[in-house]
């Protein structure tokens, strides 16, 4: 009932927006087939499954004199040949953003609902798959931007997130995040920022509430026409069943040439997770290298290493190679292979792999 009311409100808002602004719709449909071996990364592989996947997406963007809005409706429809390993599921998504701007200030309201499989998110975030479950995330937030001077800006952000699962082995939670950021544009190509944040995590069932106070200081900008940099460092103090203080840091360096592009991203953070009733320490390193082998054809290689602490923590690695082809103004294709590896806190390791092929249609196209 609550979801129906939300859809009705979004539909009314979209209709009102259409009557007073230019609207630009876009549609995409991604379809593909994937063969997955040991999808849950068990220490002894139970075999594999073939998954047929269709992902339609509709987006409506509107733009007025001072406001803009974006409505997105999508889903991922999966059908598995072996439902004992990977269930056949549908993952809907719904999002709406409305923003209004003045000459020196602006406000943004947003809401989003998304579902996904934990076998993908846990490996990338925590380095381990505890259980293959459906994860539902509902987010509502607001942001205020204010120019203090010609080169100084203040941003205030409030977001409330509710995460739930369809497995009793994972614990849902609510998280409230209140943050602010003071940024200063030192030059036209480089900016610095200071960002204090307050977080509160409340388990949906039994468990103790956890709070976190953190601050970050960093920089972002362009080192040259091809190179861009973003870096930060800070500290987080978490209170709950245990009190702990840890460092936060991150780096993102990207290169974009005429044919070759690359990127490296590393972060050390304290994040919420459904495997524990509180915050845990995580670390991630990602590498990407892409080369345009021909007009409209790009070969990409990626490696992501993740690590988390605690009883449910572990180490994981995802390595992939893909070839993306532009077939026309509205059609493109993708081919890819992926290798997955993880090691749990007990020391046991597991490996799996997948091969996929897909076709994508997009309107209005490129």
Q: Does pLDDT of 9 surpass 70?
A: no
Contact predicate 123/129, CB 8 Å: yes
Specify the pLDDT at position 329.
92
**Closest-CA residue to 287 (of 300, 273, 298, 269):** 300
The CATH class given to the 2-363 domain equals mainly beta
Share of the chain above pLDDT 90, in %: 80
Span 235-239, mean pLDDT?
A: 94
DSSP label of 47:
-
Separation in Å, CA 313 to CA 126, 281, 308, 352:
6, 9, 5, 19
Share of the chain above pLDDT 70, in %: 93
Specify the pLDDT at position 240.
81
Residue 12 confidence class, pLDDT cut points 50, 70, 90: very low
Return d(Cα 355, Cα 337) in angstroms, integer.
4
Specify the pLDDT at position 20.
55
Return d(Cα 57, Cα 114) in angstroms, integer.
13
| DSSP helix/strand/coil, 30 | strand
Q: Exposed (0-12), middle (13-18) or buried (19+): which is 206, by Cβ within 10 Å?
A: exposed
Angle at 231 between CA 226 and CA 234, to 5 degrees: 175
Length of the chain: 366
Q: Does pLDDT of 7 surpass 80?
A: no
| DSSP helix/strand/coil, 228 | strand
Q: Does pLDDT of 310 surpass 90?
A: no
Q: How far is CA 86 from the centre of its chain?
A: 22
Q: Does pLDDT of 17 surpass 50?
A: no
Which phi and psi angles does 354 have, rounded to 5°? -150, 150
Residue 345 confidence class, pLDDT cut points 50, 70, 90: confident
Q: Does pLDDT of 2 surpass 50?
A: no
**Closest-CA residue to 118 (of 38, 174, 40):** 40
Which phi and psi angles does 5 have, rounded to 5°? -65, -40
Specify the pLDDT at position 105.
97
- Ordered by start, the domain boundaries in the chain are 2-363
Return d(Cα 314, Cα 126) in angstroms, integer.
7
Residue 69 confidence class, pLDDT cut points 50, 70, 90: very high
When mean pLDDT is compared across 12-16, 90-94, 225-229, 237-241, the lowest value belongs to 12-16
Return d(Cα 248, Cα 236) in angstroms, integer.
7
Contact predicate 333/296, CB 8 Å: no
Span 289-310, mean pLDDT?
A: 95
Contact predicate 91/75, CB 8 Å: yes
Span 245-262, mean pLDDT?
A: 96
166-225 pLDDT, tens digit per residue, is 998 899 999 999 999 999 999 999 999 999 999 999 999 877 899 999 999 999 999 999
Specify the pLDDT at position 282.
94
Contact predicate 54/30, CB 8 Å: yes
Q: Does pLDDT of 235 surpass 50?
A: yes
H-type alpha helices, 117-244:
118-126
Across all residues in the chain, what is the average pLDDT?
A: 92
Which phi and psi angles does 158 have, rounded to 5°? -130, 130
Residue 366 confidence class, pLDDT cut points 50, 70, 90: low
Q: Does pLDDT of 42 surpass 70?
A: yes
Specify the pLDDT at position 18.
45
Q: Does pLDDT of 14 surpass 70?
A: no
135-176 pLDDT, tens digit per residue, is 999 999 999 999 999 999 999 999 999 999 999 889 999 999
**Closest-CA residue to 122 (of 170, 52, 77):** 170
Span 63-78, mean pLDDT?
A: 96
Return d(Cα 56, Cα 129) in angstroms, integer.
27
When mean pLDDT is compared across 235-244, 255-264, 313-322, 329-338, the lowest value belongs to 235-244
Helix (H) or strand (E) holding 242: none
Contact predicate 90/132, CB 8 Å: no
Specify the pLDDT at position 21.
73
Q: Does pLDDT of 3 surpass 80?
A: no
């Amino acid at each position: 009932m609550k979801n129906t009311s939300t859809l009705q409100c979004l539909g009314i808002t979209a209709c009102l927006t259409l009557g007073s602004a230019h609207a630009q719709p876009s549609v995409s449909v991604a379809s593909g087939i994937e063969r997955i071996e040991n999808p849950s990364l068990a220490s002894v592989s139970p075999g594999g499954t073939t998954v047929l996947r269709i992902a339609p997406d509709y987006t409506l963007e509107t733009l007025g004199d001072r406001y803009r809005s974006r409505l997105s409706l999508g889903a991922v429809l999966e059908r598995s040949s072996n439902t004992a390993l990977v269930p056949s599921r549908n993952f809907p998504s719904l999002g709406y953003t409305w923003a209004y701007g003045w000459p020196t200030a602006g406000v943004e309201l947003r809401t989003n609902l998304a579902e996904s499989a934990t076998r993908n998110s846990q490996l990338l975030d925590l380095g381990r798959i505890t259980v293959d479950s459906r994860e539902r995330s509902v987010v509502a937030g607001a942001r205020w931007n204010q120019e203090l001077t010609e080169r100084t800006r203040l941003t205030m952000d409030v977001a409330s997130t509710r995460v739930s699962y369809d497995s009793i082995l994972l614990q849902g939670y609510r998280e409230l995040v209140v943050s602010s950021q003071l940024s200063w544009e030192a030059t036209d190509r480089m900016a610095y920022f200071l960002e204090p944040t307050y977080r509160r995590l409340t388990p949906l069932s039994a468990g103790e509430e956890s709070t976190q106070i953190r601050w970050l200081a960093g920089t972002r900008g362009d080192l040259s026409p091809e190179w861009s940099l973003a870096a930060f460092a800070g500290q987080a103090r978490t209170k709950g069943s245990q009190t702990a203080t840890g460092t936060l840091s991150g780096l993102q360096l990207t290169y974009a040439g005429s044919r070759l592009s690359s990127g490296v991203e590393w972060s050390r953070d304290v994040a919420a997770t459904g495997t524990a009733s509180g915050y845990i320490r995580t670390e991630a390193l990602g590498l990407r290298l892409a080369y345009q082998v021909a007009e409209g054809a790009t070969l990409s290689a990626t490696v992501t290493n993740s690590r988390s602490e605690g009883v449910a923590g572990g180490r994981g690695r995802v390595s992939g190679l893909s070839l993306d082809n532009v077939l026309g103004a509205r059609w493109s294709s993708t081919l890819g292979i992926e290798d997955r590896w993880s090691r749990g806190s007990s020391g046991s390791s597991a490996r799996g792999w997948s091969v996929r092929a897909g076709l994508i249609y997009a309107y209005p196209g490129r």
